[in-house]
Structure 1
Amino acid sequence: MPLLEPDKIFMGASEKPEYLLLPLANRHGLVTGATGTGKTVTLQVLAQGFSDAGVPVFCADIKGDLSGIAKAGVAKDSMLKRAEDIGFKDEYRFAACPTVFWDLFGQQGHPIRTTVSEMGPLLLSRLMGLNDTQEGVLNIAFRMADENGLLLLDLKDLRAMLGYLSDNSAAASRYGNVAKTSVGAIQRQLLILENQGGDAFFGEPALAIADIMRTTIDGRGIVNVLAADKLMAAPQLYATFLLWLMSELFEVLPEVGDPEKPRLVFFFDEAHLLFDDAPKALLSRIEQVVRLIRSKGVGVYFVSQNPLDVPDTVLGQLGNRVQHALRAYTPRDQKAVKVAAETFRPNPAFSTMEAITQLGVGEALVSTLEPKGVPSMVERTMIRPPSSQLGSITDEERRQIIAASPIGIAYDKTIDRESAYEVLGRQAGELTTTTAGPAPVPSGTDPAPAPAPAGGVDLGGILGSLLGTNTRRGERLTATQRVAREVTRTVTNRVAGQVAADIGKSIGGSMGSSVGRAIVRGVLGGILRR
């Protein structure tokens, strides 16, 4: 009987073959175990299984060794023996997965970006560690940007918007008091975020969700590998990015119920970074997304050393479990072993709690969902060897894969279009120019008339007087006065030009046009001087 079946992922063998059923793979999962027990190999086996089944995958590569999924493996005695021991030798083949490399910093893969607006004030507050008051000020900044049609794309846009809010706090009074100290605290946190490389994450072109849900011409799912080794130095950025990505999928994808196979599968390595020190509101959001995103056809698999790293409210949503060995050296370790054992459906053939501490490298306790959605009885399983390379690829091999990827055309070049930074900067420049103006006229003298534009006369002085906008030079104009002055200038020039044209037509020829302009300048110029 063949072990590779179209609607299943062959994971390994116990007393029988162990499978992950594709129709139930969107019920999420958990892979746990101590360092060096084989979690990365299990992740690689599952990711390649999904890819072969036509399911796109997104996974974070914390240590760099998951990059080997992009290259076919080579025969090793240990791998061949493992395949023979589980009855997989005849079907075992070496193959690479179609892979796209991503990197928030744009160094080891294509850049991943999002805009400040898409991230939103809640996740940004989490990212910067803001208190409740500062989060409220950030929400006001977002609201005022929306009301004024100002795009918040990158960090300089947000910085400019906060500066505007600080200078115009009275305009935001209907939302609450805005203290300059709170704005200053947010600005300092933005600087810290920028120094950690966060400025590379915000901007355009923003990631299109469809680009991580691609398949190849022959129907295999693309494996998207996020280079996350440097993100470990900025765990808040890593956690916030992953939550943003799940939230975007939840917002964008339509409801599909339980499809024949997932539309996309996530593997979140070092899952504790997503939950450590997370405020209650954010944990509630994570739980909500994990619970509801299943109906969008998305499976989420958390990978961590300890099942205690995942909150109970999320743990209860994870139906497919793979538990590698845990070492019970400390009271916390012993508690983790007990928790892990209690989450499995018991097998009368052995003690689950004892087995967890006795598993060898490459062994795991496996329980997956059966056709009716019921967890299978836990089995002590030998995980199959992967078809792709174990360990990382070389830097040169990575560069070649990145260069050959069609995604680079869309994402490798940064776009900086007009947004809040440019608009607010231009408005500040116009205000400065209007306020300064030409040198003031000595007291008791009339200002010299402005020269008339070619082809007409500027009636701004006449109509401006009627509209109350004909102020002396050096006086500050209100916004309404500036708009009125521009309107009168435009209307005046058009009227004068039309009058000149009509006189010219009556006389005829180019000479008539010149005479027409001269008459208009003479008549209206005399009015202006009165």
Structure 2
Amino acid sequence: MAEVLDNEAGTVFVGGAGEGHGVAQHLLLKYANRHGLIAGATGTGKTVTLQTLAESLSLAGVPVFLSDVKGDLAGLSRPGGTDPKLAEPFDTRARQIGVDLDYQGFPVTFWDVWGEMGHPVRTTPADMGPLLLSRLLGLTDVQEGVMNIAFRVADEEGLALLDLKDLQSMLVWVGQNAADLSLQYGNVSTASVGAIQRALLVLENQGGDRLFGEPALELADIIRQDASGRGTINILAAERLMNAPRLYATFLLWLLSELFEQLPEVGDPDRPRIAFFFDEAHLLFSDAPKALIEKVERVARLIRSKGVSVWFISQNPADIPEAILGQLGNRVQHALRAFTAKDQKALRMAAENYRPNPDFDIAEAIQHVGTGEAVTSLLEAKGVPGIAQRTLIRPPFSRMGVVTQAERAETMTASPMGLKYGQEIDRESAYEILARRAEDTAKEQAKAETRPQQASRNDDDLWQMDTNEGRAQPGRGRRYEPTQPAARKTRSSRSDSIVETFGKSLARQLGTKSGQALVRGVLGSLMRGR
């Protein structure tokens, strides 16, 4: 019987020979960081392949990060073999490919942008940066330029952008100081600022504001092993996230970029440091600007030297740009349907990406492989692409399907990540700093308005004292006029009452939503006074 993990050879078992011929397929861990592709039409077995690869990598001590777009990958946390409908076909498949079914659950950590189906996963606008944010919001080139200016000024002013309201406050200040900023950074259109604010409002209404905040996700918390040395499988709950496909793609691209920027170079390790599975990968490239595709290409090309294995999962290889597809050395191609001329062309192109096998026609095999079977080509020694083989993918050891809410809660309770990420932190950042400066400016303006009134009262008091003593003050240049002390006192009290009432009203307003409008109204004068 074949071993799923062969530490001595440095391989994991992928599947056995299909259609009674060929050879068993093993993934060389040394070349797993040359990235991979899992493709195929709906219902052909892509999810099971993803599940078994995640299990095998975990057994090899490699942490995994994947997205669960249908909710059925949560079963990785529980042992399989409990569904009688699957028991017989799985046993038959196991005997056919020569592997023992060692049913077991795996160390799983659940994550969720909304913090409902997993631990909250957050980042900050500063960490995401203007390029990815512009992609997330669907901004034009001009609006992206304004976003870059906002980030530049925030950095120069020491205003941390940690959550959505920080970014919104910063954009308010940019709009109010557009004339001054245009001289230094180029044209800043208030119309562009308004368009960005509307896009942020839409994102906020969709719940995307949950993504931004602290504590932000630390990479060390997804690159972990359990006590037995198995790699942790991090599952991002993406059922709800898929309703906002741009948010989904941008978040995963941000995570991939963070891995690229933060992890040190390790060359060609014996096994990956972490494996990253990008399900529904076509969403990443749909309507993506050229600059973004170039960034993904650069990350895919260079991140292997950081020990990161990236797998793209999509229905058709044609969904992946050629420059990136060329970086994917390990391939598992499930069935493709060719009902139209366009489908037939895509089928031929997919077949041309494999090293030919004289035993069968690859294009025909791709069209006719059954569920759970695939045409595979895995890198061999020295990174050479393997000859295409028809492969029966091994059955998963964990549960195939969803988990109950109680089971999910039990897994989350046992995880140490709940204590670290469960409570959101709102420390002082751009919003609070700008609001405080605006409040100080408002108080200074209020004081400045009361000084002339106080000076006038002092003059009147001196003049009244002089006239009562019968002495004229020629230097003052004023005529003597009989005064009425009682009336003057009443007028002064009324003036004091107005100032006091204004101050109290101002203090109350600053704590309300309408007060925020007052704060924004003085931001411009605040920053010019610095």
Query: How has the CA–CA distance of structure 1 residues 435 and 378 changed in structure 2, closer, same or farther, with 3 Å as cutoff?
Result: same
- Is residue 217 of structure 1 aligned with residue 227 of structure 2? yes
Q: Is the contact between residue 215 and residue 221 of structure 1 (CA under 8 Å) also seen in structure 2?
A: yes
Structure 1 match to 2:326? 316
Partner Cα distance (1:98, 1:479) in 2: 53
- Is residue 125 of structure 1 aligned with residue 137 of structure 2? no
Structure 1 match to 2:98? 87
- Aligned-partner residue type, residue 377 of structure 1: I
Structure 2 match to 1:239? 249
Structure 1 match to 2:114? 105
Give 1:35 deviation, angstroms: 0.6
Say which of 412, 415, 426 aligns to 2:425: 415
SS in 2 for 1:245: helix
SS in 1 for 2:453: coil
Structure 2 match to 1:17? 24
Partner Cα distance (1:153, 1:294) in 2: 30
- Aligned-partner residue type, residue 91 of structure 2: L
Partner Cα distance (1:120, 1:2) in 2: 47
Partner Cα distance (2:28, 2:69) in 1: 27
Q: Once the two structures are aligned, what percentage of the paired residues are identical?
A: 57
Structure 1 match to 2:474? none
SS in 2 for 1:3: coil
Partner Cα distance (1:186, 1:298) in 2: 34
SS in 2 for 1:126: helix
Q: How does 1:38-117 map to 2 (within 5 A)?
A: 38-74=45-81, 76-88=87-99, 91-117=100-126
Partner Cα distance (2:122, 2:248) in 1: 13
Query: How has the CA–CA distance of structure 1 residues 424 and 74 changed in structure 2, closer, same or farther, with 3 Å as cutoff?
Result: same
Q: Is the contact between residue 300 and residue 327 of structure 2 (CA under 8 Å) also seen in structure 1?
A: yes
Q: How does 1:370-519 map to 2 (within 5 A)?
A: 370-437=380-447, 439=450, 440-441=452-453, 444-446=456-458
Query: How has the CA–CA distance of structure 1 residues 184 and 407 changed in structure 2, closer, same or farther, with 3 Å as cutoff?
Result: same
SS in 1 for 2:224: coil
Structure 1 match to 2:3? 3
Say which of 333, 340, 357 aligns to 2:343: 333
Give 1:178 deviation, angstroms: 1.4
Give 1:479 deviation, angstroms: 7.9
Output one character per residue of 1:6-28: Cα deviation in whole Å (capped at 9) or x when no partner.
21110111132210110000000
Gaps of 5+ in 1: 450-472, 484-530
SS in 1 for 2:81: coil
- Is residue 343 of structure 1 aligned with residue 346 of structure 2? no
Give 1:445 deviation, angstroms: 4.5
Partner Cα distance (1:329, 1:479) in 2: 65
Partner Cα distance (1:370, 1:3) in 2: 18
Output one character per residue of 1:460-486: Cα deviation in whole Å (capped at 9) or x when no partner.
xxxxxxxxxxxxx99x9x989x99xxx
Q: Is the contact between residue 437 and residue 526 of structure 2 (CA under 8 Å) also seen in structure 1?
A: no
TM-score normalised by structure 1 residue count: 0.83
Query: How has the CA–CA distance of structure 1 residues 447 and 201 changed in structure 2, closer, same or farther, with 3 Å as cutoff?
Result: farther
Query: How has the CA–CA distance of structure 1 residues 248 and 448 changed in structure 2, closer, same or farther, with 3 Å as cutoff?
Result: farther
Output one character per residue of 1:69-119: Cα deviation in whole Å (capped at 9) or x when no partner.
11000160111111011111xx32101110000011111001110001000
TM-score normalised by structure 2 residue count: 0.83
Q: Is the contact between residue 3 and residue 17 of structure 1 (CA under 8 Å) also seen in structure 2?
A: no
SS in 2 for 1:101: strand
Partner Cα distance (2:431, 2:456) in 1: 43
Partner Cα distance (1:142, 1:418) in 2: 17
Give 1:433 deviation, angstroms: 1.2
- Is residue 33 of structure 1 aligned with residue 36 of structure 2? no
Q: How does 1:136-175 map to 2 (within 5 A)?
A: 136-172=145-181, 173-175=183-185
Structure 2 match to 1:282? 292
- Aligned-partner residue type, residue 258 of structure 2: E
What is the aligned length?
Answer: 456
Partner Cα distance (1:229, 1:403) in 2: 21
Query: How has the CA–CA distance of structure 1 residues 180 and 300 changed in structure 2, closer, same or farther, with 3 Å as cutoff?
Result: same
Partner Cα distance (1:479, 1:357) in 2: 67
- Aligned-partner residue type, residue 441 of structure 2: L
Output one character per residue of 1:358-411: Cα deviation in whole Å (capped at 9) or x when no partner.
111111001100011101100001111110001111111111111111011111
Q: Is the contact between residue 113 and residue 120 of structure 2 (CA under 8 Å) also seen in structure 1?
A: yes
Q: Is the contact between residue 225 and residue 232 of structure 2 (CA under 8 Å) also seen in structure 1?
A: yes
Give 1:443 deviation, angstroms: 6.6
Partner Cα distance (2:278, 2:311) in 1: 6
Say which of 256, 265, 272 aligns to 2:266: 256
Give 1:132 deviation, angstroms: 1.0
Structure 2 match to 1:490? none
Partner Cα distance (1:54, 1:93) in 2: 17
- Aligned-partner residue type, residue 3 of structure 1: E
Output one character per residue of 1:116-152: Cα deviation in whole Å (capped at 9) or x when no partner.
1000000000000111111111111101101110000
Partner Cα distance (1:384, 1:164) in 2: 58
Partner Cα distance (1:249, 1:200) in 2: 22
Give 1:211 deviation, angstroms: 0.5
Q: CA-atom RMSD, angstroms? A: 2.1
Partner Cα distance (1:58, 1:442) in 2: 68
Give 1:335 deviation, angstroms: 1.8
Partner Cα distance (1:278, 1:393) in 2: 35
Partner Cα distance (1:294, 1:189) in 2: 35
SS in 1 for 2:309: strand
- Aligned-partner residue type, residue 15 of structure 2: G
Partner Cα distance (2:385, 2:48) in 1: 23
- Aligned-partner residue type, residue 255 of structure 1: E
Structure 2 match to 1:206? 216
Give 1:190 deviation, angstroms: 0.4
